[in-house]
Amino acid sequence: MTAFIERRAARSGGIESPRFSRRTLLRSVAGAGAGLTLGLLLPSRGAEAAADAGEGPADARDGEPFAPNAFVRLAPDGTVTVICKHLEMGQGVYTGLCTLVAEELDAAWSQVRPEPAPADAARYNNLFWGPLQGTGGSTSLANAFEQMRRAGAVARAMLVTAAAQEWGVAPAEIETAEGVLRHPASDRSAPYGAMVERAAGLTVPDPDSVALKAPEQFRLIGKGDLRRPDAEARINGTAIFASDIRRPGMLVARVRRPPRFGAVLKTLDEDAAKSVPGVKAVLVLPRGVAVVAEKSWQADQARAALNITWDDSAALTVGTDAIRKQYRELAEQPGTVVRNDGDAAAALSDPEGRTLEATYEVPYLAHAPMEPPSAVAHLTDAGIEVWTGSQVPTMDVLTIAEAARVKPEAVTLHVTLAGGSFGRRANPAGDCVAEAAGIARGLLDRGIVAPVQLAWTREDDIRGGFYRPMALHRVSGALDPNGRPVAWRQRVVCQSVLKDTPFAPILGAPGIDPMAVEGVKDLPYAVPNVHADLHMPETGVPVLWWRSIGHSHTAFAVESFMDEMAHAAHVDPLVLRLDLLRDHPRALGVLMLVAEQAGWHAPMEGGRGRGLAVHESYGSVVATVAEVTVREQTIRVDRMVCAVDCGLPVNPDIIRAQVEGGTVFGLSATLRSRLTLDETGLVRQSNFHDFEVLRQASTPEIAVHIVPSTDPPSGIGEPAVPPVAPAVANAVFAATGRRLRSLPLRVPS
């Protein structure tokens, strides 16, 4: 994970491609049956060192330290299976990974099928994260960009060699396209499937000896018309999510959790629950009580019948109002310094200039993926099998092992499709998977050997904690007598998502969670004096990364305040940004594109307004213009125009979909959602009637424009979210002259 952060930090400075291929070895593993499996052997650190020391090819020396890693499988019927190391949760990563392989393989798009990789950190690690398999931080396409292309290129080279041998011609004379090998000189051709057996017997070439295409040779990458290879399953009901897993003899579990965070079980009377027909067991878990039954409705009934009292002595018994008060008090005190350029304090007290100050607040938010957390676990004496949509399988394997009291080697984790996630299924506390594994352990201890499914209800999800943290930003700025911004001071109050997790070691200087200040610490505007500090209060509310993490609130504060500075200076907010971002060509590119596409300077009639925001995250930059109509207390967002620079657009339509979806996700947080606790610590919301998200009726037209680029691809799953809230708030100001500084936006009466 350290590597993950370093890599992200490196990326934010400039674009780079993961370099792994130099010492990568590929070899073919003829699998059972007549298929060709390409195993990509990634040397471990030790092997890299050995290779550096000139000890020869790593696998020739010793196969042990290397786990074979298959990304491509070709069947005699021509099917190309791409084994996808990243979780498909709607972001289109299967399409992306398949595109990269199919591009270099010269496969026909219709013959490509995605398949989820199992949990295996050695073979399926995220190359930005070190030895960790995981999907997050919008890293998937970027880390796999070269890896997947090489996997495809090597497969193609082997098919060419096979055909050359079969036909007795030189490999260089063979052409490939659309899954067909051709020798024009002799007018021979064969589909890939026909060469699979012969290719499987060949020695795998050194991947570095296999040329990758130049961008102008791409036929799939960058083309807008590729349909998701798994689209049909998603519209005919056959796509299988974790909650759809059905195993023979499978039992169903429900868990009653304490209503207050940090509470523990005091007394349990299980008699009524146990008398519900079909109930097999009542199990006490570290956080709650599980009932296990044959049928879901029996489990629901039994859960309701549990007679429980909770011990609240260590529980959080205050509400979000009190936490907000604590935040506001902290905002009066200096925090841990995150950045200090020049002398912001001096510039802010210059009597010649003008200063302004504003406070921005955002609430806790649940992720609320449409599929609530869900897992199936089956523990036997041989080990445990688990099915779940896991964003970080390496972490979940350890969670499962601990909860089921087995060795990590005894865990088999099947990664299923996920019905959305947005960070929820990347929980270091592993709440749902830990519960499922713990229940499986409890069953086995009682002599019940059966798979068990734990499917959370929506109420479990909304009240289950692990929210986007509440945050407060106090920002001060100074303008010199000419109206130029000369100082920017920002105090962030935000709970840490990293603290108390296994990733705590990557916390920066004491008291600095990089994820609380991303977007502030790296404030891109050319302001000579910048000071930023941070408070990370403990609140007792469990928090977690939520689509775009810290950027989800830092951009709201930064981009709103930039708008306030522009208005104070009587400068057009676009013009001020163009000026202060003059050293950031990609930001300028998206700003210019969005301004042109949105018609930034076109006048708007009364009650309507246009707002702008730009933000860089995960190596990509997105600029968004919002157009709103405000009538009395109602904000209607009419149109969102977005421009994105995410490097080489591998799948333009997926990029558009992610920007559309990220914009809708951002609009939910801007206009609707908030998670609050009452003054006794109970979560007030429970389901979509009170934890509101955007619906069809409030969804504006969303236009997405992609900046052409040949830089390596950067993130796309998250970067559209941060600019949404400030763009809308700025538009509300333009429409009404009222500055709204708290999310969700509410126009006071």
Partner 1 sequence: MARLTINGTVQTLDVPPETSLLNALRDELGLTGTKYGCGLSQCGACTVHVNGDAVRACQTYVRDLGDARVTTIEGVSGPVADAVRAAWLEHDVAQCGYCQPGQIMQAIALLTRQPNPDDAAITAAMNGNLCRCGTYGRIRAAIRSAARMLSLATEGAEP
231 binds partner 1 (CB under 8 A): yes
Of 589 and 662, which CB lies nearer to partner 1 in the complex structure?
662
Could you say which of partner 1, ligand FES, none residue 663 binds, taking C-beta under 5 to 8 angstroms by partner kind? partner 1
User: d(Cα 315, Cα 103) in Å, to the nearest integer?
Assistant: 54
Could you say which of partner 1, ligand FES, none residue 701 binds, taking C-beta under 5 to 8 angstroms by partner kind? partner 1
- What crossing angle do the helices spanning 724-736 and 551-568 adopt, rounded to 10°? 30
Among 281, 344, 417, 494, binds partner 1 (CB under 8 A): 417
Give the nearest distance from C-beta 410 to partner 1 in angstroms. Answer: 28
Could you say which of partner 1, ligand FES, none residue 359 binds, taking C-beta under 5 to 8 angstroms by partner kind? none
Could you say which of partner 1, ligand FES, none residue 203 binds, taking C-beta under 5 to 8 angstroms by partner kind? none
Q: Which stretch binds partner 1 (CB under 8 A): 176-184, 243-251, 463-471, 536-544?
A: 243-251
Q: What angle do CA 58, 63, 65 make, to 5 degrees?
A: 80
Cα within 13 Å of Cα(589), Cβ side: 16
The conformation of residue 682, written as its DSSP 8-state character, comes to -
Could you say which of partner 1, ligand FES, none residue 173 binds, taking C-beta under 5 to 8 angstroms by partner kind? none
Give the nearest distance from C-beta 310 to partner 1 in angstroms. Answer: 24
Give the nearest distance from C-beta 91 to partner 1 in angstroms. Answer: 7
- φ, ψ for residue 184 (rounded to 5)? -60, -35
Binders in 699-718 for partner 1, by CB under 8 A: 699, 701-702
Give the nearest distance from C-beta 214 to ligand FES in angstroms. Answer: 35
Among 128, 241, 545, 561, binds partner 1 (CB under 8 A): 241
Cα of 503 vs its chain's centroid, Å: 16
User: d(Cα 299, Cα 305) in Å, to the nearest integer?
Assistant: 10
Residue 596 carries which side chain, given as an amino acid letter? E
Give the nearest distance from C-beta 547 to ligand FES in angstroms. Answer: 13
Of 241 and 488, which CB lies nearer to partner 1 in the complex structure?
241
**Is the Cβ–Cβ distance between 670 and 725 less than 8 Å?**
yes
Binders in 520-539 for ligand FES, by CB under 6 A: none
228 binds partner 1 (CB under 8 A): yes
Q: Which helix (H) or strand (E) holds 560?
A: helix 551-568
Cα of 691 vs its chain's centroid, Å: 21
369 binds partner 1 (CB under 8 A): yes
Of 81 and 668, which CB lies nearer to ligand FES in the complex structure?
668
665 binds partner 1 (CB under 8 A): yes
Of 158 and 598, which CB lies nearer to partner 1 in the complex structure?
598
Residues 6+ apart with CB under 8 A from 704: 642, 643, 644, 655, 656, 659, 660
609 binds ligand FES (CB under 6 A): no
Q: Which stretch binds partner 1 (CB under 8 A): 145-153, 290-298, 328-336, 515-523?
A: 290-298
Among 22, 219, 227, 266, binds partner 1 (CB under 8 A): 227
Binders in 245-274 for partner 1, by CB under 8 A: 246, 252
Among 35, 39, 90, 465, binds ligand FES (CB under 6 A): 90
Q: Which helix (H) or strand (E) holds 39?
A: strand 36-41
Residue 344 carries which side chain, given as an amino acid letter? A
User: 389 burial class (0-12, 13-18, 19+ CB within 10 angstroms)?
Assistant: buried
Among 384, 455, 613, 650, binds partner 1 (CB under 8 A): 455
Residue 94 carries which side chain, given as an amino acid letter? Y
DSSP secondary structure string for all residues of 480-498: -TTS-EEEEEEEEEE--SS
Residue 6's nearest CA partner among 147, 150, 139 is: 139
DSSP secondary structure string for all residues of 466-480: -BBPPEEEEEEEEE-
Q: Which stretch binds partner 1 (CB under 8 A): 106-114, 365-373, 505-513, 620-628?
A: 365-373
Of 91 and 143, which CB lies nearer to ligand FES in the complex structure?
91
Binders in 368-397 for ligand FES, by CB under 6 A: 370
Q: What SS3 class is residue 190?
A: strand
Q: Which helix (H) or strand (E) holds 304?
A: helix 296-305
Of 91 and 427, which CB lies nearer to ligand FES in the complex structure?
91
Residue 35's nearest CA partner among 158, 145, 144, 170 is: 158
Could you say which of ligand FES, partner 1, none residue 601 binds, taking C-beta under 5 to 8 angstroms by partner kind? none
92 binds ligand FES (CB under 6 A): no
Torsional sign, CA 554, 558, 563, 568: positive
Among 181, 220, 221, 368, binds partner 1 (CB under 8 A): 368
End-to-end alpha-carbon separation of the chain, Å?
47
297 binds partner 1 (CB under 8 A): yes
Give the nearest distance from C-beta 635 to ligand FES in angstroms. Answer: 24
Q: Which helix (H) or strand (E) holds 394?
A: helix 393-404
Of 433 and 657, which CB lies nearer to partner 1 in the complex structure?
657
Query: How many CB atoms are located within 10 Å of the residue 250 CB?
Result: 14
Residue 518's nearest CA partner among 729, 745, 725, 718 is: 718
Give the nearest distance from C-beta 90 to ligand FES in angstroms. Answer: 5
Residue 280's nearest CA partner among 92, 458, 450, 433 is: 450
User: d(Cα 473, Cα 743) in Å, to the nearest integer?
Assistant: 12
240 binds ligand FES (CB under 6 A): no
**Structure token digits, residue 362:** 């955002």
User: d(Cα 15, Cα 34) in Å, to the nearest integer?
Assistant: 41
Q: Which helix (H) or strand (E) holds 181?
A: strand 180-183
Of 136 and 611, which CB lies nearer to ligand FES in the complex structure?
136
Among 116, 207, 262, 420, binds ligand FES (CB under 6 A): 420
**Is the Cβ–Cβ distance between 115 and 124 less than 8 Å?**
no
Of 88 and 104, which CB lies nearer to partner 1 in the complex structure?
88
**Is the Cβ–Cβ distance between 416 and 373 less than 8 Å?**
no
Question: How far apart, in Å, are the Cα atoms of 571 and each of 15, 295, 550, 567?
Answer: 32, 64, 28, 6
Size, binding site for ligand FES by CB under 6 A: 3
Furthest-apart CA atoms within the chain: distance in Å: 86
Of 43 and 420, which CB lies nearer to partner 1 in the complex structure?
420
60 binds partner 1 (CB under 8 A): no
Give the nearest distance from C-beta 698 to partner 1 in angstroms. Answer: 9
Mask 320-359, x = binds ligand FES (CB under 6 A)?
----------------------------------------
Torsional sign, CA 343, 348, 350, 354: positive
Give the nearest distance from C-beta 164 to ligand FES in angstroms. Answer: 45
233 binds ligand FES (CB under 6 A): no
Residue written as tokens 């055909």?
163
Could you say which of ligand FES, partner 1, none residue 657 binds, taking C-beta under 5 to 8 angstroms by partner kind? partner 1
141 binds partner 1 (CB under 8 A): no
Of 244 and 431, which CB lies nearer to partner 1 in the complex structure?
244
Binders in 71-130 for partner 1, by CB under 8 A: 88-92
The residue of the chain with the least Cβ separation from ligand FES equals: 370
Binders in 679-698 for partner 1, by CB under 8 A: 687-689, 693-697
User: d(Cα 58, Cα 270) in Å, to the nearest integer?
Assistant: 58
Cα of 608 vs its chain's centroid, Å: 34
Q: Which positions lie near partner 1, rule CB under 8 A?
A: 88-92, 227-228, 231-241, 243-244, 246, 252, 295-297, 368-372, 417-420, 422, 455, 457-458, 653, 657, 660-665, 687-689, 693-697, 699, 701-702
Interface residues with ligand FES (CB under 6 A) are 90, 370, 420
